[in-house]
Amino acid sequence: MSQDEGRYWLDRPENVAKLYRGLWIVGVLLVLADLVVHRHAEAGFDGGFGFYGVYGFVACVALVLAAKLLRRAVMRPEDYYDR
Amino acid sequence: MKRLIVLRVVAKMLIPFMLLFALYVQFHGDFSPGGGFQAGVIGAAAIILYALIFGLPAARRLVPERLVETLLGAGVLLYGGVGLAGIALGGNYLDYFVLGRDPVSGQHRGIFWVEVGVALTVSAVMLEIFYLFAGRGHRFDE
Amino acid sequence: MIAELPAGLILVAAGLALPLLPRAARSPVAAAAPLLAFAQLLWIGPGYVLEKDAFGFTLQLVRTDRLSLAFGYIFTIAAFLNAIYAWRVREGIEPPAALVYAGTALAAVFAGDFLTLFIYWELSAVASALIVWAGGSARAYGAGMRYMAVQLGSGMLLAAGAALRYAEAGSLAFEHVGLGSPGGALLFLAFGIKCAFPLLHNWLQDAYPEASATGTVVLSAFTTKLSIYALARGFAGTEMLIWIGAAMTAFPIFYAVIENDLRRVLAYSLNNQLGFMVVGIGLGTDMGLNGAVAHAFAHILYKALLFMSMGAVLLRAGTVKGTELGGLYKSMPLTAGLCMVGAASISAFPLFSAFVSKSMVLVSAAEQGYTFIWLVLVFASAGVFHHSGIKVPFFAFFAHDSGIRCKEAPAHMLVAMALTALLCVGIGVFPGALYAILPMPVDYVPYTASHVLAQLQLLVFSGLAFSWLKRRGIYPPEMRSVNLDADWFYRRLGLRMARALAALLQRLFDAGREASRQLGEAGAALLERLHGSEGVLARTWSTGGMALWAAILLAAYLLLYYADKVDRGFIFLLILPFLIGALGLWADSRRRDDD
Amino acid sequence: MSAEQLPALVVVAPLVAAPVALLARRALPAWMVATAACGFSFVAALALAVQVTSGGAVSYALGSWPPPWGIEYRVDVLSAFVLVLVSGVATVVAPFAWASASAELERERLYLFYALYCLCVAGLLGMTATGDAFNLFVFMEIASLSSYVLIALGRDRRALLSAYQYLVLGTIGATFYVIGIGLLYLMTGTLNMADMAARLSDISSTRPVLAALAFITVGVSLKLALFPLHLWLPNAYTYAPSAVTAFLAATGTKVSVYVLLRFYFGVFGTRIVLEELPMSQILLALSVVAIVTASLVALWQADLKRLLAYSSIAQIGYITLGISMASREGLTAAVVHLFNHGITKGALFLLVGGVALRAGHAGFDRLQGLARTMPLTSLGIVIAGLSLIGTPGTAGFVSKWYLVLGAIEAGRWWLAAFIVATSLIAVAYIWRFVEAAYLAPLGGATPRAGEAPAAMLVPAWILVAASVWFGFDTSYSVQGAARAAALLLQ
């Protein structure tokens, strides 16, 4: 592994951070595009500014948090059924 | 029992009459109660009496098992044959009407032969059963 | 001549012939058979019917229309891609089983009546169970057993439902059924099991990840889509399906987030994708149905692509556990890239296949006024990107470097994946081709600025949520674990209850025997006679005992006949001795086991 | 000999062949006579079946005495159906018996075996063809007595005891039957069944008639091994010579079912038997218990022949279950299952007979890895086993299908579920064979002499093929059964 060190661009944390920041910029741009592009609503309220961005973000955070709770309830050792 | 002279003499006298009576019952079956079944039983009883008095080997010499078996088959065959003769002569199975020139003689003939078949079969079966049981285990007369 | 043959039977015949062929010829035949079947489908087109008299019925062995043809096309395509992917697998039960499985599923799609459907339904269940078993491990054996039991159970329900249906409607024709009758309900349940409805779903996550690298790809394509077809045919517009489907889209994704086995993650997301189709069928509108069929079509391809890439990882790295993988993009860059095409497709990125199919279901739900359902579906869309689009490629190919260095996937696998990826992108770029074969006329335009923008926002912010949670350390780490699911009820609870019941009965019988021992000489002797050296009902009875039964029965009949009015309680009294006898038999066999 | 004579000839041929075989005294001519007679009966039965299907029931006055004074032979769709089954199985088993009985019996007494075989066939055919209740009793005795002896010929010592028990119970059954007939004669003054039915319609609820019904029901139930009167069957089937087991399992109990159907529907009438009396509930309860217990007992048997014997009891339960429904579907199911189970079980016992020939008996210890040494036999057992389970594409499926339909028709959902569920027990016991023959390694006790001789294998496979054939082509079996059911319900 050590000989690979540095050979790959993604192995460097600062590059990952760059990607992360870039993604935020894209996101913000997309939301701002709402001002330019008219998004017609499908369900009535989804035409609002940045609806999909907010919904996607909140939904995913909620999903992960709920899954963490779920894990407490259902997680068992790997050989659970074999015992 | 061979030594009991009274029994031997009486049996010797009785057995021919029993056989004769069997024949009487057989042939009188058309007119009065009787027929092949009863005749067969009486005939077989005569042989069985013989076996009881004179011993199984003697009876076996008189009426060998082979003969019994043949009679058994022949009796059934005779019965079945009469039935088939009815078909062959254009009637139904066991149709006696067609066996003679007129229905009455046809009936007569048909019943006669069928009863002979029955008598043969019944007496043979009686004897067969007797032989089988008597031949099993210890010989009671020897 | 070949037009006379149901298309599926071409595959079945090829599958059965496969073991007899020389090894070199097997893979080409396995690839050629689906092509031949595909050509035959194109040739016969819609409106073809092949009937045959059997069982006293007129069976429709083949009935083509636009709905069945759409599934027929994608099934043959999938079978072809599978054959390429599994080019090197020439030995064992898997290649013939895969062809027979695909063939029976294909034939089932064209079944015009329930009896024919039932026969192929069961055959495909057996063939697919063989594929699970071909996984080879002890776990695969157990999972295959459970899988088989569930699938055959579905078949039993189908048979029972068909029989009821015949009694109700006087016809076995496989047309719209609806939920209004007991027969319909049983059929619904039969299809539902195979479609992995919530709480009936676990056979899927249980069995698919236990098959071999190639086997899982085959499995993912046919079983559930066959049931989607059956639901579309029999239960279009059944409102309950909308709610079931919405639940199906939502709840598997929670499990997918915490699952470690990446092929099992994909199995959960397979379940979630089926939910979209089920909603579309439940809506029953032209667009909803079109959406369901289009999504099934697209889904088979990208799901196969994802399973193929994970299969390649399994083949080269020897595992698909999230905990053990990472950094594989360095060793398998092509596989990583193709996997990401699949991920983009399932996540419905613009220019990828699901973008043009899934949205039809969403729009349709919104149009029908199912706002809540629509919200759930959007949530599930974000979620699916989250776990299938990001999690699977991320943990396999990126994340922290696991240090695994291996070879790139073999060429035939790459070819299969590339072809599949090409089709995914092709559908995304030229949706008109897909729309042309849908059952209803389509007037839907996927590429509007509004739709593209909304979808991009959703996806990018889902991705942002993932990276934000990950960087914050909130994201649940991958752990080696088993997550309890509905299968717990039969794998654990059922087993325990059966054991507890057996123990309880044992104790009861022990107590009974103990009590009887104290009943005194006469009673004990009687009991001893009842429990002879063999079971009461199995042993040879004394002749007198047999005759006694005859006398008892005669007496019972006479009593019954002479009683003016006989209530049923009396009859049960009559049966009671037999029941006691049966229990005695059981107890006796237990006792002998103990000795 | 024109076609009108067929109802008599079908019975007479084996009846006359029996003494001829006896007189022949040699195995080979005796066997040839027996086979020829069975074959003749089969052809005659087929011709009769064609005749009654197109032209309705045939009445034949024995000795040209018109019924009801003379004995009438009456062949309708139902009896023609059973005649075809009995004579067909007899014909197929005959060549099998040449190889199997030669190996199992002393050579010098072999001709007796064939004579008795003919008698048994004649008795069963006579029971089916006759329209006279007492004549039926006579043929019942002919068939029973010959089958007792045939069973006693088995080479296992226990065969004698089994035959003796069968004799005692069979005689009780026959006696009950004849008591019932006596009561009916007392009340109606006739022995002709059709005549009896007509005269019974006014007095059907009187006590002597009800007593007659009870006696006949129990008597015939003994003969058809209805639970709990089945106890003679497992041993009799297990220890009898293979050919006898196969023949009796395929036909013996089936003819008794036929007699039950005749009396319930033809003589007493549906109204009294199934509507006024709780007969259908009792029959239903007994059938259900029979299916469950016999299937479960079969599951634990250590001998394949005995396992199949218990499975027969369960299958008879399915037939009586169909009768208890007393509906068109139910009766169709009963009659078609009577036929399908006959050929399926016949096939199984013939194949097991082949195993027994090579291995001495068919205990499961002899079956380990059998598929390697006797592949055709094992495959046949599996295929016929599938039919026993009721897998689609086999004859067994057709009957189960109609049974389920009948249950649904009657609105008894639980019964339909029950029928499907109990098939799973059949899966389990057939699986035991598959496990032993295919999955287990070759056992030390497994016969290594190769396949059974062709004379045994070919008849067995004819029946195996038939049990698949009638799973696809149901035009004869189901249509015949449906016609018979319609006839019974008239």
- Tell me if D341 is assigned to some domain: yes
Longest Cα–Cα distance of chain A, Å, equals: 61
Gap between the Cα atoms of D444 and C530, Å rounded: 36
Distance of CA C274 to CAs B30, C229, C358, D468, Å?
Answer: 90, 11, 11, 39
User: D386-397: string of b/e by CB count within 10 Å (b at 16+)?
Assistant: bbbbbbbbbbbb
User: Looking at the predicted structure, is the pLDDT value of residue C73 above 50?
Assistant: yes
Chain A: residue whose CA lies nearest to C321: A78
Query: Which pLDDT does position D344 carry in this prediction?
Result: 94
Which residues partner with D130 through β-bridges?
Answer: D73
Query: Of C28, C215, C29, C10, which is closest to residue C103 (Cα–Cα)?
Result: C10
Instruction: Note down pLDDT in tens along chain B; length 142 residues.
Output: 557 888 888 888 899 999 999 998 888 876 666 688 889 999 999 999 999 888 888 888 988 988 998 998 999 999 888 888 888 888 888 888 888 888 888 888 888 888 889 999 999 999 988 988 887 754 444 4
Q: What distance in Å separates residue C484's CA from the closest CA in chain A?
A: 5
Task: Please indicate, yes or no, if residue D76 is contained in any of the structural domains.
Answer: no
Are the Cβ atoms of C483 and A30 closer than 8 angstroms?
no
Q: Exposed, middle or buried, D101 (CB in 10 Å: 0-12/13-18/19+)?
A: buried
Q: What is the pLDDT of residue D36?
A: 94
Flag whether pLDDT at C309 surpasses 80: yes
Q: CB distance D19–B73 less than 8 Å? A: yes
The minimum CA-CA distance between C561 and chain D, rounded to whole Å, is 6
How many other CB atoms sit within 10 Å of the CB of residue C468? 18
Q: Which residue has the higher pLDDT, C551 or C76?
A: C76
**D63 and B70: CB-CB below 8 Å?**
no
Pick from D16, D60, D62: which is nearest to B77 by CB? Answer: D16
Beta bridge partners of C58: C53
Residues of C in contact with A59 (CB under 8 A): 378-379, 382-383, 462, 465
Strands C49-54 and A75-76: unpaired
The three-state DSSP-derived secondary structure of C251-317 is HHHHHHHHCCEHHHHHHHHHHHHHHHHHHHHHHCCHHHHHHHHHHHHHHHHHHHHHHHHHHHHHHHH
Query: Which sign does the torsion angle of CA C524, C526, C529, C535 carry?
Result: negative
pLDDT of res. D384: 94
How many independent structural domains does chain D possess?
Answer: 1
Domain spans in chain B, listed from the N-terminal domain onward: 5-134
Tell me which residues of chain C, numbers 333 to 372, contact chain A at a CB-CB cutoff of 8 Å. Answer: 362-363, 366-367, 371
pLDDT confidence bin for C590, thresholds 50/70/90: low
Q: Which chains touch B (3 or more CB pairs under 8 A)?
A: D
Contact D169 C550 (CB under 8 A): yes
D357 lies in some domain: yes
What is the model's pLDDT at position B27?
Answer: 83
Query: Which residue of D lies nearest to B75 if distances are taken between CA atoms?
Result: D19
pLDDT value of position C513:
61
Q: Compare C286 and D67 and report the one with higher pLDDT.
A: C286
Q: How confident is the model at residue C583 (pLDDT cuts 50, 70, 90)?
A: low
Residue range C376-392, pLDDT digits in tens: 998 998 888 888 888 88
Contact D463, D350 (CB under 8 A): yes
Q: Which chain C residue has its CA at the smallest distance from D300's CA?
A: C538
Residue type, D89: V
**Of the partner residues D15, D16, D22, the one whose CB lies closest to the CB of residue B69:** D22
Q: Is D114 within a domain?
A: no
| DSSP letter assigned to residue D369 | T
Cβ–Cβ < 8 Å for C78, C301: yes
pLDDT tens by residue, C225-240? 999 999 999 998 888 8
Nearest CA in chain A to C253: A63
Query: Is cis: bond before C22, omega within 30 of 0?
Result: no
State the Cα–Cα distance between residues D131 and A40, nearest whole angstrom. 86
**pLDDT computed for residue B34 by the predictor:** 65
The most confident of A49-53, C330-334, C400-404, by mean pLDDT: C330-334
Nearest-by-Cβ selection for C258 from A23, A61, A70: A70
Q: Long-range CB contacts (< 8 A, 24+ apart) of C516-521?
A: none
User: What span, in angstroms and rounded, lies between the C-alpha atoms of D341 and D387?
Assistant: 8
pLDDT at C567 over 60: no
The torsion region of residue B95 among left (phi > 0), alpha (psi -120 to 50) and beta comes to beta
**456-475 in chain C: CB under 8 A from chain D:** none
Q: How many CA atoms lie within 13 A of C131 on its CB side?
A: 31
**Residue C565's pLDDT is what?**
47
DSSP string of C1-40, one letter each residue: -GGGS-HHHHHHHHHHHGGGS-HHHHHHHHHHHHHHHHHH
Question: What is the tens place of the pLDDT at every residue in C144-184?
Answer: 888 888 888 888 888 888 888 887 788 888 888 888 888 88
Q: Measure the CA–CA gap between D464 and D225, rounded to whole angstroms.
A: 24
What stretches in chain D show pLDDT beneath 50?
1
Q: Is the Cβ–Cβ distance between C431 and C290 less than 8 Å?
A: no
For residues C585 and C582, what is the distance between their CA atoms, to the nearest angstrom?
5
List beta partners, residue C173.
C113
**Predicted local confidence at residue B140, as pLDDT:** 45
What per-residue confidence (pLDDT) applies to C226? 92
Q: Indicate the DSSP class of residue D132.
A: B
CA–CA gap between residue C42 and residue C77 (Å, rounded): 12
- Contact flag B95-D64 (C-beta cutoff 8 Å): yes
- For C194, the enclosing helix (H) or strand (E) is helix C182-194
Q: Encoding tokens for residue B54?
A: 């004179």
pLDDT at C586: 55
Domain ranges of chain A: 2-82
Q: Is B115 on the interface with D (CB under 8 A)?
A: no
Given this model, what pLDDT does residue C525 score? 45
Q: Which of A37, A50, A74 faces C484 most closely, judged by CB atoms?
A: A74
Q: Do D16 and B95 touch (CB under 8 A)?
A: no
Q: Which residues of A touch C489 (CB under 8 A)?
A: none
Which distant-in-sequence residues (6+ apart) come within 8 Å of C501 by Cβ? none
Does D144 reside within a domain?
no
CA dist., res. C241 & res. C279, Å (int): 6
Q: D interface mutation test: which of C158, C554, C558, C560 has the most D CBs within 10 A?
A: C554
A48-52: average pLDDT: 81
* Helix count and strand count (H, E) for chain D: 20, 2
Per-residue pLDDT tens over the stretch D186-210: 999 889 998 898 888 888 777 888 8
Q: How is D302-347 classified by DSSP, letter by letter?
A: SBHHHHHHHHHHHHHHHHHHHHHH-SHHHHHHHHHHHHHHHHHHHH
Give the number of beta-carbon pairs within 8 Å between B and D. Answer: 59
DSSP C99-160: HHHHHHHHHHHT--BHHHHHHHHHHHHHHHHHHHHTT-SHHHHHHHHHHHHHHHHHHHHHHH
Whether pLDDT at C572 is above 60: no
